[in-house]
C-alpha cells in the first residue's frame, strides 16, 4: 500500500508564518513501535485508511518513524504563564506531522506527543510514558462525547523504549488531532519578540483558520479577542456542567480555537465541592474546580495584553478598551453559567429566584458530600433511593424545583449518566501497564454514550469506595 492510499491530505499553512514560530524537524525514531489503542471512528471522520497496512507499517506511521513525503513536520514555539509566571516554552516533546484536510474540508493538526527532543525541550528527554498518553486518550474522548469542543486522540503507540521519571516506565506516543495548536502562549511568545508585523500576521491567520466570520471587520485584533473570550466562556461553562477539572489552565494550555487541549493532571469531581483539586503540583488550588472561571478571565487578560499595539495607536486608549472587554468576561460567564444550570435542572429562564434555587441545591450537595453527577441524574429520573435524599433541606429544594415542571428532555441532553470515574481510570491504566488493554476499551465504549441509558452502565456510575487518602493526578512530563 502506498502512503497516498492512506488518505493524507496535507496543506501546511502554519509554515507560511515567520520562521521564529517553528522549528522544522522530524520526530526522533523509536525502537519498536506497537499500536495499543486506535480510534477507528476518528480515522473515518478524518478520511484516513490504515486498514490495509500491516501492524508494523501502521505503527511506523503512527509513531513518526515513517514520514509521508507530502509534509514537513515541525515543533511550535510559544510561551506561557505557568502558575502565574511567564516562561518561554515551545513543543518540548511534540511534533506536528502536518495539517490534514478532512473530507468535510476541515483542517486538523496531526501531532505526535512524546516524539522526542526538540529545540524547546529544555534538558527534557522529549518522551512520554504510557500512562499519561492513555489518560489523554480516555479523557479527550470522554470530553468529545460529552459534547465539549476538544482535541482528540487517534492512537497510542508504545515505543519499545523505557522512560525514566520517578521510576522506569514504558514509553509511548500519542497521535493528537486538534483544530490547531495555537495558544494564548503563542501570542505571548510573539509579543515578547516585539514583532508587530508577525503579531499582525498571526491575528489574521487565526481569523482565517478559526473565525472566518470576522473577515473584513474593523479592528480585527479586538474582534478576535471577543470571539476567543466567548468561546472560552462556553468551554469553562461546559467544564462546570460535567464536573471536569482541567488541572493546569496555564496560558500555554489555552487554545485560540476554543478547544479543550493538553490533558495532564485532569480528573472529574465526584462529591461536589468548589475547592476540589487533584493535581499534585497545584498546592494552593489555583486551578481548583470553582476557580476555573476566575482563571479563564485571568488568562483572557494575558491574551489581551499581547494585542495592545494593534487595538489602537493610542496605547492608553487601547488598554482602556481591552480592560473593558476583559471585565465583560464575568458578566458573559455568569449569564452562560445560569443558563447552563437551568438546563441541567430542566427549567426555563426568566425567574429571578433561579439563582437562589441553584445555590440552595449546590450548597446542600456540598454540605452532604453528594455526588455531583449522580445527584442531577437522580433528580432527572426522580429516583431517590439513597438516604441522603431524605434530608429535609433537599426535600424543600426539590419541592421548589417541581413547581417549575422540569423538562426531562432538556435535562437528558445536559446531564451525563456516566463520567470517567477516577478510580476506574486508574484501574484501567494499571491493567494496561500489565499489557491488558481490555479495561481501557471497555471504559471507552461506555464513555462514548454518556447521555444514553443502558443496562450495563450501573457499575460505571459508582463513585467508588471512600478513601482517607486524597486522590492525586500528575502532569506526566
Q: What is the pLDDT of residue 351?
A: 80
* Residues catalogued as catalytic: 252
Average pLDDT for the chain = 94
- Check residue 28 and report its DSSP letter: P
Q: 476: pLDDT confidence band, cut at 50, 70 and 90?
A: low
Q: What is the pLDDT of residue 4?
A: 56
Taking residues 67-90, what's their average pLDDT? 94
Q: Which range among 81-85, 339-343, 410-414 shows the weakest confidence by mean pLDDT? A: 81-85
**Cβ–Cβ < 8 Å for 335, 242:** no
Which phi and psi angles does 84 have, rounded to 5°? Answer: 95, -5
- The answer on pLDDT for 2 being more than 70 is no
Q: What is the pLDDT of residue 390?
A: 94
**Cβ–Cβ < 8 Å for 183, 251:** yes
Q: Give the start-to-end residue ranges of the domains of the chain.
A: 3-178, 347-406
Q: What is the pLDDT of residue 470?
A: 73
Cell of 352: 429571578
Q: What is the pLDDT of residue 1?
A: 38
pLDDT in tens, 346-363: 999 778 889 999 999 999
- Check residue 452 and report its DSSP letter: S
Q: How many residues does the chain have?
A: 477
- The answer on pLDDT for 52 being more than 70 is yes
Q: Which range among 48-52, 186-190, 365-369 shows the weakest confidence by mean pLDDT? A: 48-52
Taking residues 84-97, what's their average pLDDT? 94
**Cβ–Cβ < 8 Å for 134, 172:** yes
**Cβ–Cβ < 8 Å for 464, 423:** yes
Cell of 167: 521510576
- pLDDT greater at residue 446 or residue 166: 446
- The answer on pLDDT for 13 being more than 80 is yes
Cell of 138: 480516555
**pTM of structure:** 0.95
Distance CA 231, CA 211 (A): 11
- Check residue 26 and report its DSSP letter: P
Taking residues 278-305, what's their average pLDDT? 95
- Check residue 84 and report its DSSP letter: T
**Cβ–Cβ < 8 Å for 92, 164:** no
Which phi and psi angles does 350 have, rounded to 5°? Answer: 100, 0
Q: Percent of the chain having pLDDT more than 70?
A: 98
pLDDT in tens, 242-290: 999 999 999 999 999 999 999 989 999 999 999 999 988 888 889 999 9
- The answer on pLDDT for 108 being more than 90 is yes
Enumerate the H helices of 51-195 as residue ranges.
Answer: 55-63, 130-145, 184-193
* Upper half-sphere CA count for residue 307 (Cβ side, 13 Å): 28
Q: 474: pLDDT confidence band, cut at 50, 70 and 90?
A: confident
Q: What is the pLDDT of residue 280?
A: 86
Report which of 319, 317, 267, 324 is spatially closest to residue 292, judged by C-alpha positions: 267
Taking residues 182-201, what's their average pLDDT? 97
What are the C-alpha distances in Å from 44 to residues 41, 180, 268, 322? 5, 19, 29, 42
Report which of 273, 413, 447, 269 is spatially closest to residue 344, judged by C-alpha positions: 413
Q: What is the pLDDT of residue 123?
A: 84
- The answer on pLDDT for 468 being more than 70 is no
Other CB atoms within 10 A of residue 92 CB? 17
Q: Which range among 153-157, 234-238, 263-267 shows the weakest confidence by mean pLDDT? A: 263-267
Q: Are strands 94-101 and 244-245 parallel, antiparallel or unpaired?
A: unpaired
pLDDT in tens, 313-359: 999 999 999 999 999 999 999 999 999 999 999 999 778 889 999 99
Taking residues 391-415, what's their average pLDDT? 95
What are the C-alpha distances in Å from 128 to residues 264, 329, 387? 11, 36, 45
Amino acid at each position: 500500500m502506498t502512503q497516498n492510499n492512506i488518505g493524507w491530505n496535507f496543506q501546511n499553512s502554519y509554515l507560511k508564518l515567520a520562521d521564529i514560530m517553528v522549528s522544522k524537524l522530524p520526530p526522533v525514531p523509536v525502537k519498536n513501535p506497537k499500536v495499543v489503542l486506535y480510534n477507528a471512528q476518528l480515522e473515518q471522520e478524518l478520511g484516513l485508511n490504515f486498514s490495509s497496512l500491516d501492524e508494523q507499517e501502521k505503527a511506523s506511521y503512527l509513531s513518526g518513524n515513517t514520514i509521508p513525503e507530502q509534509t514537513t513536520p515541525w515543533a511550535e514555539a510559544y510561551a506561557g504563564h505557568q502558575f502565574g509566571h511567564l516562561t518561554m516554552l515551545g513543543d518540548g516533546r511534540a511534533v506536528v506531522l502536518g495539517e490534514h484536510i478532512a473530507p468535510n474540508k476541515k483542517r486538523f493538526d496531526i501531532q505526535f506527543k512524546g516524539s522526542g527532543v526538540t529545540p524547546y525541550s529544555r534538558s527534557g528527554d522529549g518522551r512520554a510514558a504510557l500512562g499519561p498518553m492513555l489518560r489523554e486518550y480516555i479523557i479527550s474522548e470522554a470530553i468529545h462525547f460529552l459534547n465539549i469542543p476538544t482535541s482528540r486522540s487517534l492512537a497510542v503507540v508504545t515505543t519499545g523504549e523505557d522512560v525514566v521519571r520517578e521510576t522506569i516506565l514504558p514509553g509511548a506516543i500519542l497521535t493528537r488531532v486538534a483544530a490547531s495548536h495555537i495558544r494564548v502562549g503563542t501570542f505571548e511568545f510573539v509579543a515578547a519578540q516585539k514583532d508587530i508585523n508577525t503579531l499582525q500576521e498571526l491575528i489574521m491567520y487565526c481569523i482565517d483558520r478559526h473565525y472566518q466570520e470576522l473577515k473584513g471587520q474593523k479592528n480585527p485584533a479586538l474582534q478576535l479577542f471577543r470571539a476567543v473570550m466567548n468561546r472560552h466562556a462556553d468551554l469553562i461553562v461546559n467544564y462546570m456542567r460535567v464536573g471536569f477539572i482541567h488541572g493546569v489552565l496555564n496560558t500555554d494550555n489555552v487554545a485560540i480555537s476554543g478547544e479543550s487541549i493538553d490533558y495532564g493532571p485532569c480528573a472529574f469531581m465526584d462529591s461536589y465541592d468548589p475547592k476540589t483539586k487533584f493535581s499534585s503540583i497545584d498546592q494552593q488550588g489555583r486551578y481548583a474546580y470553582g476557580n476555573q472561571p476566575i482563571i479563564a478571565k485571568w488568562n483572557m487578560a494575558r491574551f489581551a495584553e499581547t494585542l495592545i499595539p494593534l487595538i489602537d495607536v493610542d496605547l492608553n486608549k487601547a488598554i482602556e478598551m481591552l480592560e473593558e472587554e476583559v471585565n465583560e468576561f464575568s458578566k458573559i460567564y455568569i449569564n452562560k453559567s445560569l443558563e447552563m444550570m437551568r438546563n441541567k435542572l430542566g427549567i426555563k429562564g426568566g425567574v429571578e429566584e433561579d439563582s437562589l434555587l441553584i445555590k440552595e441545591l449546590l450548597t446542600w450537595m456540598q454540605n452532604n458530600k453528594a455526588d455531583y453527577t449522580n445527584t442531577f441524574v437522580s433528580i432527572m429520573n426522580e429516583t431517590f433511593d439513597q438516604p441522603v435524599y431524605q434530608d429535609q433541606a433537599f426535600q424543600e429544594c426539590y419541592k421548589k424545583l417541581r413547581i417549575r415542571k422540569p423538562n426531562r428532555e432538556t435535562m437528558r441532553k445536559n446531564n451525563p449518566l456516566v463520567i470517567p470515574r477516577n478510580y476506574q481510570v486508574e484501574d484501567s491504566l494499571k491493567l494496561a501497564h500489565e499489557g491488558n488493554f481490555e479495561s481501557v476499551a471497555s471504559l471507552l465504549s461506555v464513555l462514548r454514550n454518556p447521555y444514553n441509558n443502558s443496562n450495563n452502565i450501573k457499575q460505571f456510575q459508582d463513585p467508588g469506595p471512600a478513601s482517607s487518602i486524597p486522590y492525586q493526578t500528575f502532569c506526566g512530563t
